[in-house]
Amino acid sequence: MSRHRLLWPAALALLVAAVIVTLAKPMMVEERLVSISAQNQFAHYPELLVQPLPIQARMLDYQQDSLLWLKTLSALHVYPEHTPVLLELFGDEPEFRQALRAHGENLIPPVIHFYQNPVTSIEVLNRITGGREALSPDQRAWYAVNFVNQEGDDFTGQFKVAPSGAIEWIWTERITEGITQFFTSGIRTLETRYRTDQEIRASDIGWAAVDAVIIGSTVKFLKAGRVAANTARAATISTRSASYSARLARAGQVASAMVGNAKWPALVALAYVTVKHPAILNDLFAGAAKVLGVSTWMVQLLGWFLIFLPLLIVLRWLLGFAGWVLPPRR
């Protein structure tokens, strides 16, 4: 084929590639797959489709547990502002899922209250047990999650939501309820004596400190989805390549779940989903650019050009063949 006959397919392929690169915004492949899967799975739940991708990913995961799924839907409906915050913080943690499965939307007020407000007795215990800095909102919220798992309705029932949306901790219920569970009895006693202006004894602090160590030592911070997916430019190509390969493997696992056929090799499933959703190619090109340490648009432009050029050459040939076979109209 002469250079002249290749000119217009190449020019058109370059033009189409440039338009795609200009208009399409790349995402991480895993994020793209989560978005596609959420669009398919949550067609009847439009309120979920407006949630951030991390929340959509949690909900896709929660579908495997019907009770947890329903309780989380209820929590999102009752507390649409607060529930996503906690899902993003603790959604992968077994303790949080246990509490959410058991208590649904009733879990949200106490955890959010601890998240938003320092609790003096807990702060004191943190210092006693070796903490040099004040507890972060995440750590305070994690205490509340553990309290709910240990005390159940006796703890969640102490929190009321005012018509204004403000969360109130009803201390009279806490003081008069007469519950004496051993696990948190030390903290309970210290809080009660503190709130009622009674003398704080050394034994009160001691037993409460034991409780704080047991509960507070399990404080976790989610790292899944927050670990930098893009390695630094200073890293070697081999390091970036290994990271990208691991991401592709994870993306393939997500794709296998999407097609509902775990027997498919992960990358075969990813290829199948990519054919149905070509936007994934844009994300793959962007990932390859980061591995190579070059500009994203360069790899995207080259990748789309190499895809469209042979297609346009074949199309040109087919049009020419059709013109040769079909007689002209008279």
The per-residue pLDDT for 281 is: 84
Residue 198 tokens read as: 């009674």
Q: Can you say how many angstroms the Cα of residue 55 is from the centroid of all Cα atoms in its chain? A: 5
Task: Supply the pTM of this predicted model.
Answer: 0.63
CA proximity to 141, closest of 96, 204, 80: 96
The phi, psi pair for 278, rounded to 5°, reads: -60, -15
Residues with Cβ < 8 Å from 249, sequence gap 6 or more?
A: 266, 267
pLDDT, greater one: 67 or 123: 67
Cα separations in angstroms, 200 against 121, 190, 204, 239, 268: 11, 7, 6, 56, 65
Percent of the chain surpassing pLDDT 90: 19
Cα separations in angstroms, 103 against 42, 62, 64, 224: 23, 15, 18, 25
The per-residue pLDDT for 90 is: 93
Average pLDDT over residues 195-207: 52
For tokens 């007020």, the residue is: 109
Task: Please say if the pLDDT value at position 325 is more than 80.
Answer: no
The per-residue pLDDT for 151 is: 84
CA distance 125 to 213: 9
Residues with Cβ < 8 Å from 310, sequence gap 6 or more?
A: none
Average pLDDT, the chain: 75
Task: Please say if the pLDDT value at position 210 is more than 70.
Answer: no
The per-residue pLDDT for 116 is: 93
Confidence at 267, pLDDT banded by 50, 70, 90: low
